[in-house]
Structure 1
Amino acid sequence: MILAAATNENLAHTSNVLIYSAMAVYMLAFFAHIFEWTFGSRSKVARTAAALTSGGASEDAAAEATATVTVKVAAKGGGTTVLERPKVVTRSASGSRNVPDGPGADGGDAQGDMWGRIALALTGLAFLIAACGVVARALSVQRAPWGNMYEFSITFSTVAVGVYLALLASRKLNIRWLGLPLVTTVLLTLGLAVSVLYTASDQLVPALHSYWLWIHVSCAIFCGAVFYVGAVATLLYLFRDRYETKLIAGEKVSAFATSVLERLPAAATLDKLAYRVNAAVFPLWTFTIIAGAIWAGSAWGHYWEWDPKETWSFITWVAYACYLHARATAGWKGRKAATLALVAFACFLFNYYGVNIFVTGKHSYAGV
């Protein structure tokens, strides 16, 4: 028999203060990202792209812009030095064309880069504060800090930022451009958590006192964070792909759309990133569902009962499986596959918000 520990109200209050403090720092990071996007300068590639939108540049100018992306400089000893930023990406799905990453994909001029560094520093600080808030919540009840929607939300947002910072630190993927949409989403998630989903720190029902709570739910949180990165990359891919198509066709693009979209990586880069992160985390999502079934078997006596949460977890799995299969099929690359990826992420969101709030099932004992 498991005896529930008493709730430490002081730690619970400390957790709440830390979460609100993290929101304040995230707000400062949000404004810093806005300044970065506002003051970041345009490279020659971006200026030529802007000229193309007004019909004032020739094909030779466009070729010159592309050529400046891969400049080779003679080095001592007969070698060459390749300037790698911004990188040229070829999109075969839309015909043979080379489209460079936008200059804002990894920073702009000195002023824009300064604001970007400030934004990253503030994001890292807010992450640490939020992580302490999650830990304090766990210590206040001496259990995993994801027993209800409020706890899941604060943990999910913290893990999402952690994934972003880890990818930046690894230097394997340049996703600095993700900072603004990430911080915006985190602020919305935390705002909803503290205003609508808040649940006082308390113990859980006996069925949730299991080591599977640590395994199953932690995997679900991590998968959701990575799926979020893939969804943002996919959504921005659709906008960037349309922007590139208009440029190639010589159609006019608004100055606002140009100023925003030129700072993103090329559509092919975004498409590749979305596919890689979704494919990488899909096996873990498969394990998450299997772990949930094993836990259900020990808690309810049946591995699968088509509970709404189970059903929508499986629907989400099928949607992502269809997306990955579609990417391997020549006729479903590009925008069609991207749309399917967004549908899959929408299923994940409904499984979390829709099922928990509007549908009653065996998972309802966790509360909101």
Structure 2
Amino acid sequence: MPVINETLGQYSELFMLLAAGTYTVAFIAFAWDLAKSSKMLRAVDQKAAASTADPKVSVAAGRVAAGLGGADAGGPAGRAERPTSGLTVEGGTAAGDMKYAGERRAPARVAVALTVLGVLIHGAGVVTRAFGAGRVPWGNMYEFLTTGAFVAVAVFLIVLIRRDLRFLGTFVIGLAIIMLVAASAAFWTPVGHLVPALQSYWLIIHVSIAVLSSALFTLTFAMSVLQLLQSYRQKNLAAGRKDNLGFMRLVPNALSLENLSYRINAIAFIGWTFTLMFGAIWAEKAWGRFWGWDPKEVWTFVIWVVYAGYLHARATRGWTGTRAAWLSIVGYACVIINFTLVNTVFNGLHSYSGL
């Protein structure tokens, strides 16, 4: 039995607090980027619209667009070229390929830098918790939340290497902050040993895959929410109504969000399938049966069914657009229920573990 190092446990809690503070500043920077860039792009449109009446305004609009990484926006030809700044003219949304276009967005760069710093501090907290307990750091609800938040942010940063998903920063970092606050306020558990039933190598395999899958589901949840907002905005613009969601100008169109969300959900679904399978194998070794209709087992299967239905409906039944987004959101709601209500309200064989 490993010796519990309470000092490392205290350092871990300090790192978690510092990570939450860093994420909070990053959250503000991401929100500032959305607001500032939206305001600048709106000014570009207004000046471009007035360019036919005043050539000087056309030149000024081109300079503003260049500041965002785009070409000269002066005149009809310049306005048609503005997608080089990462935006399309129709609907005023970001490019669907989500590739970097060289925009000089200082708040976004600051936000990403702070997120990297935050995830390093967060990782230090997870590692010190592991060394303090002498085991993997996901043995209870507190550790599952803190580790899950770390993985979600880390996956977000990894995806940022290839795709410009900085528009997701406000939502992903916001969710990470909520998870850390909930872990400390509602599920805090002192560093300690695991109960005998959890002292198995299956804890490493089963729960690590569940954490990674949940992190991916978190990303797709944020994308599905943005998809609904963007779909609503695009309908209003098509109908000639006022754009009341100006910050969504930096977000790709609803179809692009849906396509990427579908691909990530497909990967997460594979992970969740293994979570269900390995959980059954572990249950047989721990309790002598593969399935016993325990609340945790049932809700893990419910999540699997919902996401299986989402993938099947979209691939074969033509469930696209808002229906697919809502089904993805329902799936993530089941993930939240599985972690919160099932662990705290329902009595079952998993109640003692907090997982």
Query: TM-score, normalization: structure 1?
Result: 0.82
Q: Does 1:37 align with 2:34?
A: yes
AA of the residue aligned to 1:21: L
Q: Which amino acid aligns with 1:299?
A: A
**After TM superposition, which residue ranges in structure 1, 4 or more long, deviate above 6 angstroms?**
63-66
Q: Alpha-carbon deviations, 1:140-189, whole Å to 9, x = none?
A: 111111111100000000000000011112x1x22111111111111111
Does structure 1 residue 160 correspond to structure 2 residue 152? yes
CA-to-partner distance for each residue in 1:37-96, whole Å, 9 max, x for gaps? 232254479737x98xxxxxxxxx9x97983356xxxxxxxxxxxx4x52669xxxxxxx
- 1:345 Cα offset (Å): 1.0
Which deviates the most, 334-343 or 314-323? 334-343
Q: CA deviation at 1:21?
A: 1.0
Q: Distance in 1 between matches of 2:225 and 2:43?
A: 23
Backbone CA RMSD of aligned residues: 2.7
CA gap of 1:66–1:232, structure 2 versus 1, over 3 A, is farther
Using a 3 Å threshold, how does the CA distance of structure 1 residues 325 and 66 change in structure 2: closer, same or farther? Answer: farther
CA contact (8 A) 1:100 1:265 kept: no
Pick closer, same or farther for the CA change 1:137–1:107 going to 2, 3 Å. Answer: farther
CA distance in 1, matches of 2:258, 2:79: 20
Residue 107 of structure 1, CA deviation: 8.3
Is the CA contact (8 Å cut-off) linking 1:124 and 1:165 kept in structure 2? yes
Cα offset, 1:239, TM superposition: 0.6
Asked if residue 116 in structure 1 is aligned to residue 114 in structure 2, the reply is no
Q: Summarize deviations over 1:191-241 as a string: whole Å, max 9, x none.
A: 111111100111011110111100000000000000111111011101100
**Aligned 8 A contact 2:236 2:243 in 1:** yes
Where does the alignment leave 5 or more consecutive residues of structure 1 unmatched?
Answer: 52-60, 71-82, 90-97
Q: Is contact 2:254–2:321 with CA below 8 Å preserved after alignment?
A: no
Q: Which amino acid aligns with 1:194?
A: S
* Residues 8 and 132 in structure 2, CA contact (< 8 A), matched pair in contact too: yes
The equivalent position to 2:206 in structure 1, one of 203, 216, 230, is 216
Q: Tell me the amino acid that sits aligned with residue 148 of structure 1.
A: N
Q: Distance in 1 between matches of 2:181 and 2:77?
A: 47
1:45/1:65 contact within 8 Å kept: no
Cα 1:312/1:64, change in 2 over 3 Å? farther
> Which secondary structure does the structure 1 equivalent of 2:290 belong to?
coil
In the TM superposition, 1:139-218 aligns within 5 A as 139-169=131-161, 171=162, 173-218=163-208
Whole-angstrom CA distance in 1 between matches of 2:44 and 2:166: 18
- Share of identical aligned residues, percent? 40
Q: TM-score normalised to the size of structure 2?
A: 0.85
In the alignment, the residues of structure 2 paired with residue 356 and residue 198 of structure 1 have an alpha-carbon distance, to the nearest angstrom, of 14
Question: Compared with structure 1, are the counterparts of its residues 265 and 190 closer, same or farther at alpha carbon in structure 2 (3 Å cutoff)?
Answer: same
Q: Please give the residue correspondences for 1:1-368 in structure 2 after superposition, counting only pairs within 5 Å.
A: 4-40=1-37, 42-43=40-41, 47=45, 67-69=80-82, 83=84, 85-86=85-86, 99=91, 101-102=93-94, 110=104, 113-169=105-161, 171=162, 173-254=163-244, 257-258=245-246, 260-367=247-354
Aligned partners of 2:240, 2:159: CA distance in 1, in Å?
A: 36
